[in-house]
Structure 1
């Protein structure tokens, strides 16, 4: 089960922004109802903390938009809370509250008791009456719905003893009830489902959501199954004005229907995955692996060459929803992924085959833990040894080991749990046996990076063990303060043997404080390192950076934190990350990879600034960090099509971080980043832009340098400076009034020079070749010479085209003056010069073209030919073809002739015209 929320949030701009408006103490909220005529009147059904009898559940009411709250219905006892709330839309003074008496422990779930029942209010929630007539005497979980189409009609889906469970209906406002349907599909696994929804228009249409999506059109007497994209359905919104429009919420996300459920939108169009753990391989463009709640396993690329990560970039592997993933990061041909009840699959990425490699094959679903050979947690750890990829560990109540891809297993530990047999029963009651909770299990396993024989194992019942002889002997080394908390993560330092970081979560004991420790001596002593973390939500995982000792990352229930002093102090690393539980994290290739419970995978690209962080940098007016290596990627064909769902990829190029002690006023102070080659020539200049502002941004040739107080990140796309801009409506090579981007540079070391006022900071960046292609220095050298020549030829044409309008304007002005003065000779000379300038322009470009389709009407000229071969050669990083060489050679004499013609016009005709025109024209300096 997930942990708890922190209250109610409100948006007054259609979800654009949200404000917390209280009830943070109630933990679980089952329903919110808003008065149809007054949005400031709100009722909330609060379940409260199901792990601790804290008397914080019930029905709460606000009459001032959430500014203040009152509890208007108190539960019958401390283990009862409100799980559902129905509002009579025809008479909003009438409400029906479903109360649920339940309590969870780490090993059991009690669903039902004297506090469960249905209450009615007829005065807007100010007073309540318990309803009984026809309802079961003892009840568990209940869902309730009032029909907007018929006054007094109310449905309730009820968990009770045996055949008393099922759908009930009242047609007199709850005074009396009648059971209409007892089919088990309506109430199976009651604690997980039990939701009923009334059609807003048809009094006889009602929906009951369970693993299947069920619909009745005869008032609830009979039901049919509606096909939906995903099982485990939990909520349904029906448009009150158009009931064929619906939104269904399920374990995989949400789906929309506009035809009453006959068809639904896709399931994979939203980043709502709930991942339990995360693992990665070490390939370039490494893959991220994880199991997501009720949506199977995922292996997905961390970045894409096409600018976005789409459907083609991920695939399903073995295992299931709760999978941990084990794999050899250097050669991930075989992946090992789990699923509930100890299932573990091997997936062969080459043959696409899946095989079960369980230590003991048993149909565990439905069997109590005490009747199974091994006790596996829902999210049982799987680890492939980093020292020997033939070795696989799978954790139950004992640690199992295979050395032959799962064909055989042996236990390399005794039972490392408390092994409390009284907690190995059916895990449910009093009405429904759940058989889902498996307790006294190993929940975290870690292998030492330095020693294959050193293993750590943490359990869900608060024990931590270590072995230093491959499992022959184990020592309990539990930190003081764990209690019965779940050891959620163990991270053995890659820097120093014996150093490890451990987290424990205790929300199942009603304790939401963060618990994290560090040991320097294999667990003989421990130091608490959670003191600087927020104390109102727990920490799930702490891991150390593999490059910088003492740099720690903490994934918490409501965000991400970082420590640069080995846990002595912490600060938020939230950035643009949604507020979401961080279930796991790891560092790979200089990136921080996160698994979240509800917002899928997230990646912090490039940890260079954190790895170089020092306190002295905080107060510096200007600091330039040493960039990580930049990879000169080879081009690919873009494939993101309209309508395809995709996620943003890591930016291509060099990420350059710098810190500003204060925000500059851009009108008065420019921040400039220059990139210099090995000859100390500036090949690219990036600068702030007053029009764009201090946040900077944009892309390509319009990119503006950010300049905000604090940390800034610039992106150099590994190109030289762009061509000169030509203000024509359309240029075949440049588009509408835009310069053409510079060419991609060769691998090598480049110097960086950052300037703010009279302050200058310098560094270097190394550009390396794309790992997926062989690097041929001779071919790259030829390509660089060719692309530079093509660029220079193109830019020479653009520089002349750019100054031509002003030159032509001056000649035209003198022509008009000469004509007005009656100087026909000078006027004719001006006309001849204008004709020659126009003829040159028309010989190299198509100024009448306004869009790409106009190429059919105005065939390309030299400018377009040069732009075309330039773009092709820029991508020819695997070597030039003879056809490319030949085309560039063929264009060279045409270009030379065009330049000679221009020079003749400027040096002879313009000079001659100036001699007879009086004040000389401004001759462009090219």
Structure 2
């Protein structure tokens, strides 16, 4: 084993260059943040975060999960879920006590999360179904006000598309096809069918599709259904293209194949007056750690007039060359009219096209900047259009805002960020209630009684428990006080401002959150790339501190940790570790750069991802980085030692945890898929990092996101993975599934509340769960 020692060299520090987005937050930090202006910040500041910030927001997931591999191995998500279910079955036989722990849903229920599809039940009044991006399928019987789960907790929670036939049969395509939002999109396991309103589901094939962009049923024959199989995002191959069933899903036929192994189908439109006329948009796309290819020779729009037996590519009036994602919609009242949005490979808007001859020829519409700006620089995140069933000139385009035209695309109005959350994905008209329209976006579900008018009132669902959490904090003093960082919904809290439910207190994509364990009025919240703030009044006013820290680059999710012996002492890191002794107001750098890497593509690669301070000796600190390094200092930063050992996997370090009684006992968890099934996930050192043992044992082959040591029984440890929570009662020799009642969903953070013995799990798509640990 080699040790690299760094002398103390930080005698003179250069001033940090403050990101433009920090300035934005500084302007907001002196005033109370309300729900409305948080949504405005998300909406109006999105382009700044993506293009003008230190990196592009959708690189974090891929660089973490794939690490230095060119692609995530084939079927990695599906295999991990299968292994998780196998381990649950083994736990029931070998250690039933571990499963006897009962998880319960904690919160939130009023925030919502990303909705990728909405369908209206054609037969039941006020009944709709929605697909949550990583939270399963949900049903509402009160016109979208409240939702109950209509999906098996043991199935993949990643959803791409939902459809309901004229007879009420549900079809669900798993695997989200929108490759944005941090690229935090999990692969699926094919298509499922329910004939009882979501009570039970049948697996009906297409397991290798990985992601599905759209499902549409023949309006005349409910047994005929089309599936736009977009295919795996992270590698080529799989089941891609347009599939058709004529027997209700018992068998499938590929009726339109892509030009190459990276081309899949993304959108479908069917002529409601002639179901043999079908439009399909094909999209050539793949995602690598070092960049994305969201265009190619396979991208285009195709039409069939014989139910998919033959196809022609439509080109008259459409742009030549590489094109990005396309969205297609046909007017129900005038089937000769159709609308097409075209995105550039870069993600910017290319144009809005109209046909009045059934697709034979297209004309590019003159559009104002409002329409183009709606796609920002990530138009591949949206890709759907909608036409009022009763008015061919009343058309909607999904974007950051919802865009509406009442004159066939000549003029456009956009939704108000205070009325409707940013990032639109799905719309559906209720044929039983004139003027009623449903909308799904990154904030959940909305309902309009004014035919979708973007300038009139929208009603947000009041119970929608499918929020995507990155992190969670629980007050040591008051366990009812929780806060967390959430995808596209900012940092949210369970208290404050006279609210009776969860509310926003810091904008952007919410990331690291912390609550002072001696005074819960001191809270901390960050948004992307380490833009963090402190508050001494429970979050009513936020004060940015990033400008007072030193680092050249900062991770999308930058670590912020307390000294376990003194909460006024805190640690924060970009590529350099910083220390504060006054609760985060002022900072001093205490390390050199702990990574030499600078970037992968535009992502600020080469950063610290996790920090841990030993409770038994606060001079001992451990750090892990995104380029697979582990570091330690035994003298409060005077000297840093890089830990090099052949047993370390050398990939993204997700968490380091130190035994509360012995600073030499340390655990490290990692992310980064590999093809081998004996992949290392959790390692343990008993000598301060000199040597390491792999204690992954029988864990599923999936990234591990967090580790917690039970302070009452330090040989019992818990891990959060992309496929659930696991416990080892023997220091990692054997792992068991922990508890019943929690879905098979990615768990991103664990928080143990020692006074009550409750373990909290932050999930990426199903909110927060908790379990009172009994003997485990």
The two structures share one fold, judged by TM-score above 0.5: yes
CA distance in 1, matches of 2:404, 2:355: 18
Task: State the 1:347 CA deviation.
Answer: 1.5
Q: 2:527 aligns with which of 339, 362, 368?
A: 339
Q: Deviations over 1:726-774 (max 9, x none)?
A: xxxxxxxxxxxxxxxxxxxxxxxxxxxxxxxxxxxxxxxxxxxxxxxxx
Pair 1:595 & 2:757 matched: no
In structure 2, C-alpha distance between the alignment counterparts of 1:473 and 1:128, rounded to whole Å: 67
SS at match of 2:638: coil
Is residue 2:334 matched to residue 1:118? no
* Pair 161,506 (structure 1): closer, same or farther in 2 beyond 3 Å: closer
The CA distance in 2 between the partners of 1:358 and 1:490, in whole Å, is 23
Structure 1 position 170 matched with structure 2 position 371: no
Question: Is the partner of 1:359 in helix, strand or coil?
Answer: helix
User: 2: CA distance between counterparts of 1:498 and 1:296?
Assistant: 37
- Quick check: 2:705–2:749 contact (8 Å CA) kept in 1? yes
Q: Is the 8 A contact 1:276 1:584 kept in 2?
A: yes
Whether the aligned pair in 2 keeps the contact of 1:9 and 1:20 (CA below 8 Å) is yes
Residue 141 of structure 1 pairs with residue 329 of structure 2: no
Q: How far apart, in 2, do the equivalents of 1:351 and 1:497 lie?
A: 33
Q: 1:504 aligns with which of 670, 682, 695?
A: 670
Cα pair distance change 1:34/1:161, threshold 3 Å: closer
Write the distance in 2 (CA, Å) between the matches of 1:222 and 1:529.
61
Q: Which of 638, 655, 662 pairs up with 1:472?
A: 638
1:799-810 map, 5 Å: none
| Counterpart secondary structure, 1:609 | coil
Contact residue 558 and residue 609 of structure 2 kept, 8 A:
yes
* Residues 320-329 or 204-213, more deviating: 320-329
1:580-659 superposed matches below 5 A: 580-588=745-753, 589-604=756-771, 606-610=772-776
1:197 is aligned, of 381, 386, 406, to 386
Q: Secondary structure at the match of 1:353?
A: coil
**Match for residue 271 of structure 1 among 448, 454, 465:** 465
What is the distance in 2 between the residues matched to 1:489 and 1:221? 52
- Contact 1:51 1:510 (8 Å CA) reproduced: no
Residue 436 of structure 2 corresponds to: 245
**Cα drift, residue 127 of structure 1:** 4.0
Pairing partner for 1:490 from 652, 656, 661: 656
Match of 1:352 in 2: 540
CA distance in 2, matches of 1:336, 1:93: 57
For 1:389, what is the secondary structure of its paired residue?
strand
Q: What do residues 602-624 of structure 1 show as CA deviations (whole Å, max 9, x unaligned)?
A: 111x21232xxxxxxxxxxxxxx
Residue 591 of structure 1 and its aligned partner are, at CA, apart by 0.4
Aligned partners of 1:296 and 1:320 also within 8 Å: yes
Q: Does 1:187 align with 2:375?
A: yes
Q: Give the aligned partner of residue 102 of structure 1.
A: 285
Deviations 1:336-385 (A, max 9, x none): 21112331111222693221112359xxxxxxxxxx96322222221122
Asked if structure 1 preserves the Cα contact closer than 8 Å seen for 2:598 and 2:604, the reply is: no
Does the CA-based 8 Å contact 1:595-1:602 persist in structure 2?
A: yes
Equivalent position of 2:607 in the other structure = 441
Aligned to 1:229, the other structure's residue is in SS state coil
Alpha-carbon offset, residue 286 of structure 1: 4.5
CA deviation string 1:632-687 (max 9, x = no partner): xxxxxxxxxxxxxxxxxxxxxxxxxxxxxxxxxxxxxxxxxxxxxxxxxxxxxxxx
Give the aligned partner of residue 328 of structure 1: 516
Secondary structure at the counterpart of residue 312 of structure 1: coil
Partners of 2:545 and 2:316 in 1: how far apart? 54
Q: What residue is the counterpart of 2:108 in the other structure?
A: none
Aligned-partner Cα distance in 2 for 1:144–1:324: 39
Q: Structure 1, residues 51-83: CA drift from partner, whole Å, max 9, x if none?
A: 223444322333343344343333223333322
**How far, CA to CA, are the matches of 1:78 and 1:171 in structure 2?**
33
Shift of 1:478: 6.4
Q: Are the equivalent residues in 2 in contact too, given 1:594–1:601 (CA < 8 A)?
A: yes
| Deviation (angstroms), 1:113 | 2.5
Quickly say closer, same or farther: Cα 1:68–1:382, change in 2 above 3 A.
Answer: farther
CA distance, structure 2, for counterparts of residue 264 and residue 291 of structure 1: 26
How many residues in Structure 1 have an aligned counterpart in Structure 2? 579
Deviation by residue 1:805-840 (Cα, 9 ceiling, x = unmatched): xxxxxxxxxxxxxxxxxxxxxxxxxxxxxxxxxxxx
Q: Which secondary structure does the structure 2 equivalent of 1:585 belong to?
A: strand
Note if contact 1:252-1:293 (Cα within 8 Å) is conserved in structure 2: no
Contact 1:168 1:181 in 2 (8 A): no
In 2: Cα distance, 1:275 partner to 1:196 partner:
29
Distance (Å, rounded) in 2 between the aligned partners of 1:556 and 1:396: 24
1:5 aligns with 2:187: yes
For residue 477 of structure 1, give the secondary structure of its aligned residue in structure 2.
strand
Could you tell me which of 218, 223, 241 is aligned with 2:412?
223
Bigger Rg over Cα: 1
2:231 to 48, 64, 80: 48
Asked whether the equivalents of residues 295 and 345 of structure 2 are also in contact (C-alpha less than 8 Å), the reply is no
1:301-334 residue CA offsets vs partner (Å, 9 max, x unmatched): 79xxxxxxx9525454446432201332122221
Q: CA deviation at 1:119?
A: 2.3
Measured in 2, the distance between the counterparts of 1:270 and 1:531 equals 37
1:455-854 mapped onto 2 (5 Å cutoff): 455-477=621-643, 485-506=651-672, 515-535=681-701, 537-588=702-753, 589-604=756-771, 606-610=772-776
Distance (Å, rounded) in 2 between the aligned partners of 1:185 and 1:581: 33
Q: Distance in 2 between matches of 1:478 and 1:26?
A: 40
Unaligned runs of 5+ in 1: 303-309, 362-371, 426-436, 611-926
Task: State whether structure 2 residue 297 is matched by structure 1 residue 132.
Answer: no
Cα 1:89/1:506, change in 2 over 3 Å: farther
SS of structure 2 residue aligned to 1:185: helix
* Residue pair 1:5, 1:24 contacting (<8 A) in 2 also: no
Residue 494 of structure 2: aligned partner:
300
Are 2:272 and 2:335, in contact at CA under 8 Å, matched by a contact in 1?
Answer: no
Cα distance between partner residues in 2 of 1:312 and 1:512: 47
Normalization by structure 1: what TM-score?
0.58
Which of 229, 232, 235 pairs up with 2:423? Answer: 232
| 1:63–1:393 CA distance, 2 compared to 1 (3 A) | farther
Displacement, 1:181? Answer: 4.1
Deviation at 1:242, TM superposition (A): 4.5
1:207 CA displacement: 0.6
Offset of residue 277 of structure 1: 0.8
Distance, in Å, in 1 between the alignment partners of 2:345 and 2:508 is 32
Change (3 A) 1:411 1:69: farther
1:275 deviates by 0.9
Q: Which has the higher contact order (CA 8 A, sep 6+)?
A: 2
Verify: 1:291 aligned to 2:291, yes or no. no
Give, in whole Å, the separation in 2 of the partners of 1:92 and 1:485.
51
CA displacement at 1:134 relative to structure 2: 1.5
Q: 1:513: Cα distance to partner?
A: 7.0
Q: In structure 2, how many angstroms separate the alpha carbons of the residues matched to 1:449 and 1:477? A: 21
1:151 aligned to 327, 335, 342, which one? 335
- The residue that corresponds to 2:398 in the other structure is 209
Within the alignment, does 1:258 sit opposite 2:449 as a pair?
yes
**Structure with more helix by fraction:** 1
User: Within 2, Cα distance between the matches of 1:250 and 1:557?
Assistant: 24
- Measure, in 1, the Cα distance between the counterparts of 2:294 and 2:228: 17
- Deviations 1:521-541 (CA, angstroms, capped at 9, x unpaired): 333333333342334x54333
- Distance in 1 (CA, whole Å) between partners of 2:623 and 2:315 is 51
How big is the alpha-carbon RMSD for the aligned residues of Structure 1 and Structure 2?
3.1
Is residue 88 of structure 1 aligned with residue 255 of structure 2?
A: no
**Structure 1 residue matching 2:483: 3-state secondary structure:** strand
CA contact (8 A) 1:325 1:383 kept: no
Q: 1:574 to 1:320 in 2, by over 3 A?
A: farther
Give 1:495 shift.
Answer: 4.7
TM-score under structure 2 length normalisation: 0.69
Distance 1:381 1:566, change over 3 A: same
Per-residue CA shift, 1:408-442, capped at 9, x if unaligned? 33332233235145x354xxxxxxxxxxx443332
